[in-house]
């Protein structure tokens, strides 16, 4: 039997209305009938039908005119036309105007039931496909993870190992804007190569954005009659993601009771719909992401310890952008090229020295997402093929006011005292001068010295420069990581 649906019937023959209403209610549907077209469309809007059976010839109005009005005002309703005219011309005209099928009088009730069942099933499948398209989106074209830092190299290597092993669960942690969902999509594509990622679902659901009263229903679905208004069965995202991937974004915000149900799903690889009695195998890979400190959440009793250890069997951590300054310019150039192509603008090839200095001096609290937004703004509002300091947003320009003035010596000048320096003292002097010029910013100091950020941090710690350096005039410059 077809899942129950809401059906509205409009025909000027009371006998036809009575007969069809009785037959369709016998199939388990909720049916409302009317023989007067006056106010019928408004009644349909209030009722919210899945299917409308509409007579072509109605008193004072054409059913085809009402068909157009229904399409505009009754969202999501499919329409099957009813007529005593069996000509192909009438049927073709109705189909062109939006009807999905056509029934001719006198009716064979079994044929009516068959057409209704077929139409409802097509509508259900169409809604499911549209839903999957909407939530998978066009973001599956993640070709690579951009960056040259050791952190990104290790991340890329870890993602590829997890994909090759075909693990069925991964926890991805990191601050907001670091690209946790992008990494999940990247692994998904590696798991489904040669174009199969285009058909394997990738469904992301934000555990913090969906009301607590709805999230269990969204995850697991429900059976018909499980609660008030559950007129038909509904698949949850765990079922819809079958053979693909489900991403549970911000899992740290999931309520305690639901965490216990999720733990069962992950351990037993089965799900059960709300109101259901039978287990359904889980065939999707499960990714979970969070920006919360789950250790702290466990200490506060807000996150289950057993769920954490189940999730953390395989985990990846995304370092914030301020801790991997080597990735800043490669990412920025990547975004500039992407947005230039998107908006049809002249490709932006590079940054002026001052713009580059300001980019490195800024701490990027919004991480890669913030950098992406800034580059998009530059492409749309800027001009020319070089990013200048005036193209940067005000929060970056503020760094210009706070940064120390550039030294009068040309780049590469070494200031030696009268008595000379040992090699250790020379190394310390170079790092101190670089940190002074960079206003204490280690990322910029590393660039000035032509060394990696990690190498500079190691040398500064070894030389005891972590606490800051003495600038001219007795002012102490405190070193920072971003």
Asked if the structure places residue 136 within a domain, the reply is no
Residue with tokens 């230039």: 340
Give the single-character DSSP code of 149.
S
Segment 448-461 shows an average pLDDT of 74
| Burial track 365-402 (b if 16+ CB lie within 10 A, e otherwise) | ebbbbbbbebbbebbeebeeeebebebbeeebeebeee
Q: Is 70 exceeded by the pLDDT of residue 74?
A: yes
- pLDDT band of 164, cuts 50, 70, 90: very high
Same domain, 262 and 280: yes
Same domain, 107 and 170: no
**How many Cβ atoms are within 10 Å of 185's Cβ, its own excluded?**
23
- The share of the chain scoring above pLDDT 90, in percent, equals 38
Count of structural domains within the chain:
4
Same domain, 170 and 223: yes
Same domain, 191 and 274: yes
Same domain, 308 and 360: no
Same domain, 310 and 327: no
CB 10 within 8 A of CB 54: yes
Q: What is the pLDDT of residue 68?
A: 86
CB 184 within 8 A of CB 287: yes
Q: What is the pLDDT of residue 315?
A: 95
Asked if the structure places residue 21 within a domain, the reply is yes
> For 130-139, 218-227, 390-399, 447-456, which range has the lowest pLDDT when averaged over its residues?
130-139
Per residue in 410-429, pLDDT (tens digit) is 444 555 555 555 666 777 77
Same domain, 294 and 331: no
Per DSSP, the three-state class of 55 is strand
> For 19-23, 232-236, 436-440, which range has the lowest pLDDT when averaged over its residues?
436-440
Give me the chain's average pLDDT, please.
82
Q: What is the pLDDT of residue 192?
A: 85
Angle, in degrees to the nearest 10, between helices 442-449 and 453-462: 100
Count CA atoms within 13 Å of residue 390 on its CB side.
3
Q: Is 50 exceeded by the pLDDT of residue 240?
A: yes
Asked if the structure places residue 462 within a domain, the reply is yes
Same domain, 204 and 169: yes
Same domain, 185 and 303: yes
Q: What is the pLDDT of residue 201?
A: 87
Strand-strand pairing, 51-55 and 57-58: unpaired
Query: Which residue range is the domain that position 435 belongs to?
Result: 423-477
Per residue in 168-215, pLDDT (tens digit) is 999 999 999 999 999 999 999 899 876 555 568 889 998 888 777 788
Same domain, 259 and 298: yes
Per DSSP, the three-state class of 325 is helix
Q: How far apart are CA 429 and CA 423, in angstroms?
A: 10
Same domain, 375 and 452: no
Per residue in 10-49, pLDDT (tens digit) is 998 999 999 999 999 998 899 999 999 888 998 898 888 8
Q: How far apart are CA 82 and CA 303, in angstroms?
A: 57
Per residue in 298-357, pLDDT (tens digit) is 999 999 999 999 999 999 999 999 999 999 999 999 999 888 888 888 788 789 999 999
Same domain, 392 and 302: no
């Amino acid at each position: 039997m077809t899942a129950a649906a809401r059906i509205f019937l409009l025909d000027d023959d009371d006998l036809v209305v009575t007969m069809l209403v009785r037959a369709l209610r016998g199939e388990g549907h909720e049916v409302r009938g009317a023989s007067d077209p006056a106010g019928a469309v408004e009644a349909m809007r209030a009722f919210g039908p899945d299917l409308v059976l509409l007579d072509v010839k109605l008193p004072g109005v054409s059913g085809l005119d009402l068909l157009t009005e229904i399409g505009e005002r009754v969202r999501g309703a499919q329409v099957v036309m009813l007529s005593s005219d069996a000509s192909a011309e009438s049927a073709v005209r109705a189909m062109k105007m939006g009807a999905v099928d056509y029934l001719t009088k006198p009716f064979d009730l079994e044929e009516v039931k068959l057409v209704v069942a077929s139409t409802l099933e097509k509508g259900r499948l169409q809604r499911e496909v549209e839903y999957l398209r909407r939530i998978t989106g066009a973001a599956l074209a993640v070709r690579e993870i951009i960056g040259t830092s050791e952190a990104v190299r290790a991340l890329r290597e870890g993602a590829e190992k997890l994909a090759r092993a075909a693990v069925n669960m991964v926890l991805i942690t990191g601050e907001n804007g670091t690209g946790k969902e992008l990494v999940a999509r990247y692994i998904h594509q590696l798991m489904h190569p040669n174009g199969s990622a285009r058909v394997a679902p990738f469904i992301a659901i934000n555990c913090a954005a969906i009301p607590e009263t709805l999230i269990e229903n969204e995850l697991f679905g429900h059976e018909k009659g499980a609660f008030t208004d559950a007129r038909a069965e509904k698949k949850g995202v765990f079922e819809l993601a079958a053979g693909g991937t489900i991403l549970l974004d911000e899992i740290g915000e999931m309520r305690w009771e639901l965490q216990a149900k999720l733990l069962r799903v992950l351990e037993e690889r089965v799900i059960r719909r709300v109101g259901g009695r039978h287990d359904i195998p889980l065939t999707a890979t499960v990714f979970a992401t969070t920006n919360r400190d789950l250790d702290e959440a466990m200490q506060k009793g807000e996150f289950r310890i057993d769920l954490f250890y189940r999730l953390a069997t395989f985990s990846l951590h995304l370092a914030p952008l301020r801790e991997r300054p080597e990735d800043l310019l490669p990412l920025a150039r990547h975004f500039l090229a992407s947005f230039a192509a998107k908006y049809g603008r002249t490709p932006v090839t590079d940054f002026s020295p001052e713009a580059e200095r300001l980019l490195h001096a800024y701490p990027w609290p919004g991480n890669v997402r913030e950098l992406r937004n800034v580059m998009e703004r530059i492409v749309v509002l800027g001009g020319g093929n070089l990013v200048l300091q005036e193209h940067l947003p005000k929060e970056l320009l503020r760094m210009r006011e706070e940064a120390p003035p550039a030294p009068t010596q040309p780049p590469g000048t070494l200031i030696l005292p009268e008595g000379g320096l040992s090699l250790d003292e020379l190394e310390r002097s170079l790092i101190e001068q670089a940190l002074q010029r960079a206003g204490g910013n280690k990322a910029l100091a590393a660039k000035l010295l032509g060394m990696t950020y990690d190498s500079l941090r190691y040398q500064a710690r070894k030389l005891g420069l972590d606490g800051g350096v003495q600038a001219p005039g007795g002012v102490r410059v405190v070193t920072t990581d971003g």
